[in-house]
A and B are shown apart, each in its own frame.
Chain A
Amino acid sequence: GAVVSQHPSRVICKSGTSVKIECRSLDFQATTMFWYRQFPKQSLMLMATSNEGSKATYEQGVEKDKFLINHASLTLSTLTVTSAHPEDSSFYICSASKQGGISTQHFGDGTRLSIL
């Protein structure tokens, strides 16, 4: 159990486009989902923590108007990169924690975003 599906796996689009990434927990309820950004050969940088039914908590330095997060249900969170620019190109990864569980996170396979 504990499968997280992230879609799409790869996006290539023009500068100025808005891109939506979905993160779904397939076989468990996820009260909390996390969105990370990972640059090449670097660790994961937490962007925001998303709780079902409430506003996301953004990490310092992350623009909430740029990276819109919605967590409308216990199995789905979305990240929308608005008006994307080349500097937004990165690998975005979501994860989910089981409801009531400890801090073990279950990860999606990531989305490679390339802005031309």
Chain B
Amino acid sequence: SQQGEEDPQALSIQEGENATMNCSYKTSINNLQWYRQNSGRGLVHLILIRSNEREKHSGRLRVTLDTSKKSSSLLITASRAADTASYFCATDDSGGYQKVTFGTGTKLQVIP
């Protein structure tokens, strides 16, 4: 299965601290994406990094990709209570139809 595994499964930090989540996957990819899900809601796309990119930034988000290790990390800097959510990585499926496979997710709690 291509499904990514995320580490840690749960993370609790104080507001203002940085949060780092990791994702590992099994096969070659075209790109990797990170999504966020608030409890009981749909997913919101955060950032996409292509297989030929090593690092990407968007606001307080920093994503790295190491294709040799088949891993990615998501760093949220200066966390806020509103960042509390589950975060999922998603890898594309080269079989077509723009299909992606989601990782197991990291549940982040930011304590005010």
The chain A residues found within 8 Å of chain B, CB to CB, are: 4, 6, 32, 34, 41-44, 46, 49, 51, 57, 91, 93, 95, 97, 101-110, 112
Contacts and interface: CB of A to CB of B under 8 A. Distances in A.
Among A93, A107, A112, the most chain B Cβ lie within 10 Å of the Cβ of: A107
Grouping DSSP codes into helix (H, G, I), strand (E, B) and loop, the A interface class, with mixed when no group exceeds half, is strand
B42 interface: yes
Contact of B40 (A6, A57, A91): A91
Contacts of A4: 42
Interface string B51-85: 00000000000000000000000000000000000
Given A6-B42, A44-B88, A109-B41, A102 B98 contact: yes
Contacts of A49: 97, 99
29 contacts: A32-B97, A32-B98, A41-B107, A42-B104, A43-B3, A43-B104, A43-B105, A44-B43, A46-B99, A46-B101, A49-B97, A93-B42, A93-B43, A95-B43, A97-B98, A102-B48, A102-B98, A103-B31, A103-B98, A104-B33, A104-B48, A105-B90, A105-B98, A107-B42, A107-B43, A108-B42, A109-B42, A110-B42, A112-B40
